[in-house]
């Protein structure tokens, strides 16, 4: 069965363009022109991924994203945001609400298709990665049961926060997380923790595991957004 992609945008020309190219790639395209219709299709058609414009009439794209992420039945549905070029505020808000990726308008259709394939691969592998007992990538190895970390066979000493941070990021490679998201997922309910605290612990983690902390190969900075473990695909 072809993967179903829901395209949500109030500009019909954009929806038709994306739909045409998706179908050429072997996907099944679903179309919605506002947030309310999009959520109905999510419920009835069960798409595998949503391409979501943020500037929608009525229910805004950010509200649609928030609704999906708060609904246990569909909370893991992959979402790629479409944003206005250079609108960092919307990008950050969208990622904080759980969007998997973003692409700016005007966009290259081939890039969008590549992003779709990448997000679908990550979504398919996400549940499996969370069940694994260890992680290994380019000399870095993390045993989740013993919390032993090695780089090129040499054991690395990490503090408890760095261990939790590394575990979380290695279980979700390729996905960008804002500082606030990392605080929620890694620090949890700890009080009096500032977002910049994340930068401090990322720096410590890089110092321990990267060959060159200024040119990291594992934990990457996404300028203006946050951090991610490098996409392994």
Domains defined for the chain, CATH in brackets: 4-126 (3.40.50.2300), 132-229 (1.10.10.10)
Residue 79: name the closest of 37, 50, 103, 102 by CA. Answer: 50
Give 2-44 pLDDT, tens digit per residue: 999 999 999 999 999 999 999 999 999 999 999 999 999 999 9
Instruction: State the pLDDT at residue 129.
Output: 53
Contacts of 141 (CB under 8 A, 6+ apart): 134, 135, 149, 150, 151
Instruction: State the pLDDT at residue 127.
Output: 54
Instruction: State the pLDDT at residue 108.
Output: 92
Q: 25-34, 56-65, 131-140, 165-174 — which is least confidently predicted?
A: 131-140
User: E strands along 33-86, which residues?
Assistant: 49-53, 79-84
Instruction: State the pLDDT at residue 137.
Output: 93
Q: Dihedral angle at the C-alpha atoms of 214, 196, 76, 218, nearest 10 degrees?
A: 10
Neighbours of 166 (CB within 10 A): 26
Place of tokens 């060159």: 212
Instruction: State the pLDDT at residue 131.
Output: 55
Angstrom distance (rounded) from CA 157 to CA 68: 39
* pLDDT of 92 strictly over 90: no
* pLDDT of 231 strictly over 80: yes
Place of tokens 């394939």: 117
Give 67-89 pLDDT, tens digit per residue: 998 887 888 899 999 887 666 77
168 vs 129, higher pLDDT: 168
65 vs 192, higher pLDDT: 65
Give 184-208 pLDDT, tens digit per residue: 788 876 556 787 889 999 999 999 9
Instruction: State the pLDDT at residue 167.
Output: 93
**Predicted TM-score of the model (pTM):** 0.62
**Mean pLDDT score of the chain, rounded to an integer?**
89
Which residue stretches of 106-190 are H helix?
Answer: 109-131, 160-171, 179-182
- Distance from chain centroid for Cα 218: 16
* pLDDT of 128 strictly over 60: no
Q: Residues 14, 56: contact at Cβ < 8 Å?
A: no
∠ CA(205), CA(209), CA(211), 5° rounding? 125
Cis peptide before 2 (omega within 30 of 0): no
């Amino acid at each position: 069965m072809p993967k179903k992609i829901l395209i949500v945008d109030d500009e019909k020309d954009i929806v038709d363009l994306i739909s045409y190219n998706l179908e050429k790639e072997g996907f099944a395209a679903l179309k919605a022109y506002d947030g309310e219709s999009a959520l109905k299709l999510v419920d009835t058609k069960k798409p595998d991924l949503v391409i979501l414009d943020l500037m929608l009439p009525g229910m805004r794209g950010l509200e649609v994203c928030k609704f999906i992420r708060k609904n246990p039945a569909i909370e893991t549905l992959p979402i790629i945001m479409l944003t206005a070029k250079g609108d960092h505020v919307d990008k950050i808000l969208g990622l904080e609400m759980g969007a998997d990726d973003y692409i700016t308008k005007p966009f290259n259709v081939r890039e969008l298709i590549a992003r779709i394939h990448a997000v679908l691969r990550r979504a398919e592998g996400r549940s499996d990665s969370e069940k694994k007992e260890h992680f290994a990538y380019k000399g870095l190895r993390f045993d989740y049961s013993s919390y032993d970390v090695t780089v090129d066979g040499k054991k690395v000493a990490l503090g408890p926060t760095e261990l939790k941070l590394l575990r979380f990021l290695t279980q979700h490679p390729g996905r960008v997380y804002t500082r606030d998201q990392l605080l929620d997922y890694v620090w949890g309910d700890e009080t009096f923790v500032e977002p910049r605290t994340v930068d401090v612990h990322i720096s410590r983690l890089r110092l321990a595991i990267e060959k060159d902390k200024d040119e990291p190969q594992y934990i990457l900075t996404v300028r203006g957004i946050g951090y991610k473990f490098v996409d392994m695909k």
